[in-house]
Amino acid sequence: MPKKQTEVDRAKLEAAILKAESGGPVAGRTALWSAVATLYNGDNPPCAITPSVVYIRFTQWGLTCKTQPGKRGAARFRQSIRQSWLRHDPGHGEAVPKSCQEFWGRKIILRSSG
């Protein structure tokens, strides 16, 4: 048996989006969905919605916002840089991988501590 669709008032949702972005764009769309859900739930106590419902209704209704979507894969890139950095033993004076050097914008040499 399919789950019942969550009832969302479009006018309240649009008002919550405007209120969340009143100080300018939010750090990211995920943060925006969370802020909108919190604001919407504060005005609508008996029926709470989650950030995922906010996202679904936002795309379904074609709403607009000031907050731009994040760059795809940016978090994965930072994670891969961190992992490649940790793979090298800092005690042997090895050069840091080129990808790390490009990320930090300068040549880095790890020196032994003793």
Domain coordinates of the chain in residue numbers? 10-61, 74-104
Query: For residue 102, what pLDDT is reported?
Result: 57
pLDDT at 9 over 80: yes
CB 53 within 8 A of CB 40: no
Q: Which two tokens stand for residue 97?
A: 């991988």
Query: For residue 111, what pLDDT is reported?
Result: 56
Query: For residue 19, what pLDDT is reported?
Result: 93
How many other C-beta atoms are found inside a 10 Å radius of the C-beta of residue 41?
15
User: Of 1-5, 46-50, 81-85, which one has max mean pLDDT?
Assistant: 46-50
Cα 6 from Cα 11, distance rounded (Å): 15
How many other C-beta atoms are found inside a 10 Å radius of the C-beta of residue 60?
9
pLDDT at 46 over 60: yes
Cα 48 from Cα 34, distance rounded (Å): 12
Higher-pLDDT residue of 114 and 57 is: 57
pLDDT at 49 over 60: yes
Q: Give CA separation, 46 vs 14, 24, 43, 50, 83, in Å.
A: 19, 29, 9, 13, 46
How many other C-beta atoms are found inside a 10 Å radius of the C-beta of residue 7?
9
Is 0.75 surpassed by the pTM of this model? Answer: no
How many other C-beta atoms are found inside a 10 Å radius of the C-beta of residue 92?
9
Query: For residue 34, what pLDDT is reported?
Result: 93
Query: For residue 24, what pLDDT is reported?
Result: 87
pLDDT, tens digit (0-9, with 9 covering 90-100), for 80-110: 665 665 555 455 455 555 555 555 555 555 5
